[in-house]
Each structure stands twice: as structure tokens, then as C-alpha cells.
Amino acid sequence: MKGLLPDLDLVRKDFPILERTFDGGETPLVYLDSANTSQKPQIVIDTMVDHLERHNANIARAMHHLGAEATEAFEGARDIVARFLGAPERDEVIFTKNASEGLNLVANTVPLAAGEVVVTTEMEHHSNIVPWQIATQRTGATLKWFGLTDDGQLDLSNIDELITPATKIVALTWVSNMLGTVNPVAEIARKAHEVSALVVIDASQAAPVLPINLSAMPEEERPDFLVFTGHKVVGPTGIGVLWGRRAALEALPPFLGGGEMIATVTMEKSTYAPIPHKFEAGTPPIAEAVGLGAALEYLMHVGMENIHAHEQAITAYALERLASVPGVTVLGPADAAQRGGAISFELDGVHPHDVAQVLDSKGVAIRAGHHCAKPAHQRFGVQASNRMSSYLYTTPAEIDALVEGLEYVRSFFKLDQ
């Protein structure tokens, strides 16, 4: 199969959990839930253990060997993130807890007022909806939405009504976690920048599979803010990234106050540290940041271009195989070249919970439900769906196992009788 990682067997060996079996060794794990969270390679696990075993100390304030080592490891991770994103400056990389926190940080600090407009889309994860609902309710600004076309693309036909001089923020996902759609973020950013709106990109599903190079983007097309979450890029939970254009970050007031984010504190007032520390109050998740650094090094070592090609090959194969199962309807674009690695589908006559439960008895792990994208489900008139999602360690044989599993679901629920 063209596009698969040539060393797929070796890649799989890097992920110890893929050896897991159930039922006393009878049932191997088929992990197709990577859009939910990815599995972790040994190098990430080892790097975190090594940090905790040998270099652990608080950062930035400990005047000893270990403090210096921990600080170097933490700031080294920031350098790696900057390289991974092609960020113009490493100090533009802010560590957060996850993507949700990055989005909340921006939504909480960006100035908004009555009469101003925030635009988002119907395909967002709740993490890129709820913070904007809260922010617009708090400030009296208005929240507007890009709708979706029947084939799961953004409907840009009314873009001139949505993006106007009143528009201050355009917040959208690069790749949909439900529909798999890859959105035209460059085109939308260009449009938003014409009216001086800030562009916030949720790259939670894009960072795992698309090569990103912020510096190489023309400035008009480059977002002002971009977030992603560590646990979906083979890194640990508890760590995420907010990247922001220096001037855009500097224009924001601090989000959380506390240690590490100040220049000086008196009882009357405080002055704040420069970015990135201004937005990193308190002791950060240090070992997690170090783990994220190792994860991104790993992905860059395999090569983001190669990972992207692998995803597209697996996705194309999965779309083709799923089409062979009676009663399966795939939501979102039909063309693998226009999608990320998440494929949501319905199986006529069986609720997604029941599909997932029966697949689980065969070791096949998928997600069932609304995938934190209720408005998108509503748009397509579905209450819940099944979602399979692949990653760099997914094999065509695992897609076959899913399809066999779905045939078993059909027989279990006697759909042909």
C-alpha cells in the first residue's frame, strides 16, 4: 500500500501498549481511538522517568545543580515545540495544561465589547465553543457561526456577512475531530486579517498529522494564536501549548496570577514577566513538558510528511473498507486527501454505544458518542456516532479487524433477519 510508513513494524515496537491483549492473551488490542488520545512511545516514557529519577527539581528558582538541569530540560522542551511549529520565536510558546486551557486563556483575556463579534464554526470541539460562549456572554459581544455543507466542509458562502469590521476574533479548528475535515485556515485567516480580527486556530487534531511551519506562512495567512494538546501527539496528558504572535500575546493581560509570572510584586501592584512566563503562573507540569519535548522529537524523527502520508493511506483504505459494510454511513468528506485521521460513521440499526461495546469484546477500541462536538452532530441530524481514528502506528490489518468486528456487530444484533 502506497504511503504507509516503510518501518511500520519498527514504529509499532516503539509503542509498548500495542502489545496488550485481553481475555488471557486471546484478543489483541486494536487501538483505533487516537483522535481521543494517542499512545506513547517508549522514548517518551523513558524520558519522563529519567527526568523524575535524575533531574527533578523546581524550575527557574532553585539555586542548585538539579534546579539548573530541570530548568534546562523544561526550557529545552520549549525550544523543541518552537521547532515543531516553525515558530518565529521560541518565547511565543506558552505551556498550558491542554488545548482547552489555551483556548480559555485567549477567550478570557482578549478584549471584547458589546457590538463586537466572535466567529466560530459548527464543527468545533466544545473546547472551542464554550469558552467563546462564556466570553461573549460576559462582554455582551455576539457569537456567530460558520455553517457546514452536506459533505462536511465549512460553508463559506456567507463569509462576508460573518467577517466584517465588527469581527474581533475568528476561532476555528484546523482539522475536525468528528468529520475529519481539513479546513482552509489560510484563506480564512487572510480574510479575517483584512478586518484586523485575531485568528485562533485549534490545532489539536492537526498537530498530530500535518506538517506545520508557522514561519513559512505568509503573515496575512498565519494565525495569531494556535493551540494543541500534548496527549494527542504521542506526549503525556497534563501539558498543552498555546503559541501566539509576540505582539498579540504582549497585548493580552495575564490570565492566572501567581509565582513565576511577575517581574516584581509590591502590596500596591505587580508588574509582569515578559512572555512566555507572563502566562505561566505557578509551578508548571515540568516532567510533562519534558515528555512532550521527547514526543515531538520522536514525531520529527519519523517525519511529519511521512506521518501525514501514512494517515492518508490508512484513511483511504478505511473509507474504502467501511463502504463495504452494509448499513455503514460515513460522515464528512469522502475524499481521504481532504481529511485527517478521524472517521465518524453510523451503522444503521445499532446505537454507537452498542457498536463500541461489541467491538470492544473483539479488542477493537473506537469511540462512541458525540465526541464533544454536539453542534456538528446536530447539523447532520445524528444524536451520536461511532468514530475510528488512526495514527502513525495503525496498520491496514487493524482496519480489517474493525471491518470484521462490524460484521460481527451486524450478526450479533441480527440485522439481516
Minimum CB distance to other proteins smaller for 278 or for 371: 371
Instruction: Say which of 289, 372, 402, 409 is annotated catalytic.
Output: 372
261 and 272 in contact (C-beta within 8 Å)? yes
> Cell digits for 355?
457498536
Does position 352 interact with other proteins (CB under 8 A)? The reply is yes
Helix H, strand E, coil C: the string for 152-192 is CCECCCCHHHHCCCCEEEEEEECECCCCCEECCHHHHHHHH
Minimum CB distance to other proteins smaller for 301 or for 414: 414
Rounded Cα distance, 176 and 209, in Å: 12
Minimum CB distance to ligand PLP smaller for 70 or for 207: 207
Looking at 23, 79, 335, 407, which residue binds other proteins (CB under 8 A)?
23
Rounded Cα distance, 286 and 93, in Å: 15
What is the total residue count of the chain?
417
* Residue 204 binding target from ligand PLP, other proteins, none, CB below 5 to 8 Å by type: ligand PLP
Does position 283 interact with other proteins (CB under 8 A)? The reply is no
Looking at 12, 83, 90, 374, which residue binds other proteins (CB under 8 A)?
374
Q: What minimum distance in Å lies between the beta carbon of 406 and other proteins?
A: 15
Q: What share of the chain is helix, strand, coil (3-state, %, to 5)?
A: 40, 20, 40
Does position 351 interact with other proteins (CB under 8 A)? The reply is yes
Does position 187 interact with other proteins (CB under 8 A)? The reply is no
Q: What minimum distance in Å lies between the beta carbon of 62 and ligand PLP?
A: 29
Question: Binding residues for other proteins, how many (CB under 8 A)?
Answer: 20
Looking at 168, 231, 339, 377, which residue binds other proteins (CB under 8 A)?
377
* Residue 98 binding target from other proteins, ligand PLP, none, CB below 5 to 8 Å by type: ligand PLP
Enumerate the β-bridge partners of residue 258. none
User: Helix, strand, or coil here: 46?
Assistant: helix
Minimum CB distance to other proteins smaller for 360 or for 400: 360
- Is the Cα torsion angle 162, 163, 166, 171 positive or negative in sign? positive
Rounded Cα distance, 234 and 76, in Å: 18
Interface residues with ligand PLP (CB under 6 A)? 98-100, 125, 127-128, 173, 177, 202, 204-205, 229, 372
Minimum CB distance to ligand PLP smaller for 103 or for 273: 103
* Residue 173 binding target from other proteins, ligand PLP, none, CB below 5 to 8 Å by type: ligand PLP
Does position 404 interact with other proteins (CB under 8 A)? The reply is no
Looking at 12, 43, 361, 415, which residue binds other proteins (CB under 8 A)?
361
DSSP state of 271: E
Does position 364 interact with other proteins (CB under 8 A)? The reply is no
Stretch that binds other proteins, among 78-86, 194-202, 284-292, 367-375 (CB under 8 A): 367-375
Rounded Cα distance, 48 and 98, in Å: 18
* Residue 99 binding target from other proteins, ligand PLP, none, CB below 5 to 8 Å by type: ligand PLP
Residue 372 annotated among the catalytic residues of the structure: yes
Give the dihedral of Cα atoms 216, 220, 224, 230; nearest 10 deg.
-30
Q: What minimum distance in Å lies between the beta carbon of 384 and other proteins?
A: 5
* Residue 125 binding target from ligand PLP, other proteins, none, CB below 5 to 8 Å by type: ligand PLP
* Residue 351 binding target from other proteins, ligand PLP, none, CB below 5 to 8 Å by type: other proteins
Rounded Cα distance, 326 and 416, in Å: 10
- Is the Cα torsion angle 113, 117, 119, 122 positive or negative in sign? positive
Burial class (CB in 10 A: 0-12, 13-18, 19+), 4: middle
User: Helix, strand, or coil here: 143?
Assistant: strand
The upper half-sphere exposure of residue 409, i.e. CA atoms within 13 Å in the direction of its Cβ, equals: 29
Q: What minimum distance in Å lies between the beta carbon of 36 and other proteins?
A: 13
Q: Count the neighbouring beta carbons within 10 Å of the beta carbon of residue 371.
A: 25
User: Helix, strand, or coil here: 116?
Assistant: coil
Residues noted as catalytic: 372
Residues that bind other proteins (CB under 8 A): 22-23, 350-354, 357-358, 360-361, 368-370, 374, 377, 383-384, 412-413
